[in-house]
Amino acid sequence: MSKKEPKKGKAPKEAPDAAEATPKAKKLKAHTGPSRLHVRYGKEIVPALMKHFNYTNVMAVPKLEKIVINMGLGEAIANAKILDVAVDELGRIAGQRPIVTKAKKSIANFKLRQNMPIGAAVTLRGERMFEFMDRLTSVVLPRVRDFRGVSTKSFDGRGNYTLGLRDQLIFPEIPYEKVDKIRGMNVTIVTTAKTDDEARELLKQLGMPFRQ
């Protein structure tokens, strides 16, 4: 009897921690393999880009490196609770816990002190990056009112693209009834492309609906 009791006592101690620790993260880690966009990149997009740019080496083909989603929250200076809500929303959108961004220096006119929380950001890589890109192009952007495509002029000259979104409600993960305020965000797609032309074609092949 004394030997069995420790075994029974171990489970209750571990169970609450597992339940409280990040239920969302636990669910998101259950990848059984590459996402459908990742598979399509390897099977269809790589050959298409090699043909389009006459690459002789597959290693020269541009690819996604990371996606950074940033939400600036100037109003958090006056109300810290706003930051908590925004972090939760960004976590739902990205499927990954964001980090809180802080002011690099103090600005007296804005009552801003160094290291004061001013926003939230998350960096996606690997399968979560591909899954987000897939959702962004096939589900999220089509939900934008009067959507006519994204601008082709938002590249930075180094093969990276930044897209501004004005409303978090275009993401199905955000419940309308729980939104206290409309918040925008910037989505920066970082690629290994050496030129904007290469990056533009890569994103086009990945499903980015550029404006005609």
111 occurs within a structural domain? yes
pLDDT confidence of residue 14: 40
Q: Which of 137, 120, 89 shows the shortest CA–CA distance to 186?
A: 120
2 occurs within a structural domain? no
**pLDDT tens, position by position, 82-137:** 778 888 999 999 999 998 876 665 655 555 556 566 788 999 999 999 999 999 99
133 occurs within a structural domain? yes
pLDDT > 70 fraction of the chain, expressed in percent and rounded: 74
Can you give the pTM of this predicted structure? 0.79
Over residues 54-77, mean pLDDT: 88
**pLDDT tens, position by position, 160-204:** 999 999 999 999 999 888 888 888 899 999 999 999 999 999 999
Over residues 58-74, mean pLDDT: 92
d(CA 144, CA 139): 10
190 occurs within a structural domain? yes
Helix/strand/coil for 105: coil
Token readout for 86 is 């925004």
Render the burial of 32-53: b for 16+ CB within 10 Å, e for the rest: eeebebbebbeeebbeebeeeb
Domain count, the chain: 1
d(CA 12, CA 210): 53
> Which domain range does residue 160 map to?
62-206
**pLDDT tens, position by position, 18-30:** 333 333 433 444 4
State yes or no: pLDDT of 205 exceeds 50: yes
Beta bridge partners of 189: 67, 161
94 occurs within a structural domain? yes
CATH code for the domain of 93: 3.30.1440.10
pLDDT confidence of residue 78: 57
8 occurs within a structural domain? no
pLDDT confidence of residue 77: 55
76 occurs within a structural domain? yes
State yes or no: pLDDT of 15 exceeds 60: no
91 occurs within a structural domain? yes
